[in-house]
Chains A and B, each alone.
Chain A
Amino acid sequence: FPGLADVSIPQDIPVEGEITVPVGSHSPDEDYSTLDEPVKDTIMRDLKAVGKKFVHVMYPKKSSALLRDWDLWGPLVLCVSLALMLQGGSADSKDDGGPQFAEVFVIIWFGAVVITLNSKLLGGTISFFQSLCVLGYCVMPLTVAMLVCRLVLLAGAGTVSFIIRLIVVGAMFGWSTLASTAFLADSQPPNRKALVVYPIFLFYFVISWMILTFTPQ
């Protein structure tokens, strides 16, 4: 290649320029570095994302927002608050009381992991963390039920309060199961949907049972 022998870069002229070729128009996120923004903006953006997901759980509309941008902050907050509220269940001896904080925490996270593994083994197309995200966020109605139960128990612990608690926990259990099924059912093969939905039903049933049988000291 005789022509290339003439090409040389002079040492004194600096070479600079852009390597990237601009494609289309820039969206505001790409050339806005998030390192320079105020901390309040960073936190508010994450909080808004979590809040939007809570709203989606309360009105499950088959939107894919929960699945697309998964995060585990919401499940963590819900799990910790539920475990704290279940703390201090009555016990004559230490062995017969309600679940302790660690037990609730482990049941929720381990149960969610097992259900996710189950749905993936059955051939589901959802990713691991998306499924954990959905299952965790759908614990929210049950956390609300726990709050209501504690308030009702402050007023008294008789038969009437038990019936109120039963109705509230039952309704929230149904809501949780339906919400998570609405999000997760589409990613399963059609002839195995019931096999995937049943463990979710069992999971929320166990959590509802823990909430319903909570008796304060």
Chain B
Amino acid sequence: ISCLVMYLLAEFDDAANLLAANPDATTISIDEPVEIPKNQHSRLQEPGREEDDELLGTDDSDKTELLAGQKKSAPFWTFEYYQTFFDVDTYQVLDRIKGSVFPVPGKNFVRLYIRSNPDLYGPFWICATLVFTIAVSGNLSNFFIHLGKPTYHYVPEFRKVSIAATTIYAYAWLVPLALWGFLMWRNTKVMNIVSYSFLEIVCVYGYSLFIYIPTAILWIIPQKVVRWVLVVFSLCLSGSVLVMTFWPAVRDDNRRIAVATVATILLLHALLAVGCLAYFFDAPELDLPAPIIPAHNGTTVITRSH
């Protein structure tokens, strides 16, 4: 374990960003000799091990014992306060996007990737990209669907950009706000082990919308079956990220409320996808089968009888 701790200390040069697994764990200074973390580590691990391990992952539980971070100490009217929300490097953003697209069963997105360093870069620019992707893809798809018709005159449909922007930004900010308020309220009734800050919830929602960007591009294909398969597929991926994040936050609560909360989260997510598909993308033309002509049978009977 001492080797593991040394390896971890070398790996994270700012270990200040790691969150303690238990809220009331004593913080461990890096300067202390290695034996002390080992003793405290084994003592603190026992009560929380069974509950949080399956979602923290067995290799995370060591890392999360280290220092709690000193973040966001500037007053909110200074520019530096907002800079703390953009304290991410390129590889971190790419890792978080990868984590939202390939959800690993059993790994909590917030614990694994956010680790008390929520950023606003990802949610903001993923939403902006999604807005323009949906508007542009919808426009292109309508263009290809109506291309052959003589009465069709191409219009850029620019108004839809503002509608898309309002919808997606409202979803990405108001739903986390409502969810955060709801979780805070339930926390006063039932003591939950896991609780998230507002920015972490915004982060999860923002990154979970990333899968809709390639989905929106593929929705240009004017086949109903393809589009619905894409809806279901992307809903499964991003929905599973959301479920695995929020299930530990509500499972200690009343069973029905927990299930209802998770179901509502999934329902709103599905509603967003289906609503965007229905509003921005016209229905593709159906290929009608050629009508069967009954006279053909009559004539063959006549010819055979001859």
Contact = CB atoms under 8 A, between A and B. Distances in A.
26 contacts: A89-B156, A89-B158, A90-B154, A92-B155, A96-B156, A96-B157, A96-B159, A97-B158, A98-B155, A98-B156, A103-B158, A118-B125, A121-B85, A122-B121, A123-B83, A191-B89, A194-B90, A195-B88, A195-B90, A195-B121, A202-B125, A205-B132, A210-B156, A213-B156, A215-B153, A215-B154
B7 interface: no
Nearest to B136: A209
A192 B89 contact: yes
Contact of A121 (B83, B89, B91, B128): B83
Given A96-B155, A96-B157, A193 B90 contact: yes
Interface of B: 79, 82-83, 85-86, 88-91, 93, 121, 125, 128-129, 132, 136, 139, 153-159
Interface size class, chain A? 20 to 34
A195 B93 contact: yes
Given A98-B156, A118-B86, A191-B89, 4 more contacts: A202-B125, A206-B132, A215-B153, A215-B155
A150 to B, nearest CB: 15
A208 to B, nearest CB: 11
Nearest to B90: A194
A205 B161 CA distance: 14
Name the residue among A89, A91, A121 with the largest chain B CB count within 10 angstroms.
Answer: A121
A115 to B, nearest CB: 10
Contacts of B139: 213
Contacts of A205: 132
A97 B155 contact: yes
Nearest to A194: B90
> Interface residues of B: mostly helix, strand, loop or mixed?
helix
Contacts of B89: 191-192, 195
B91 A191 contact: yes
A193 B158 CA distance: 31
Interface in A171-217: 191-195, 198-199, 202, 205-206, 209-210, 213-215
Contacts of A97: 155-156, 158
A111 to B, nearest CB: 10
A121 B156 contact: no
Contacts of B90: 191-195
Nearest to B156: A213
A118 B83 CA distance: 9
A98 B157 CA distance: 6
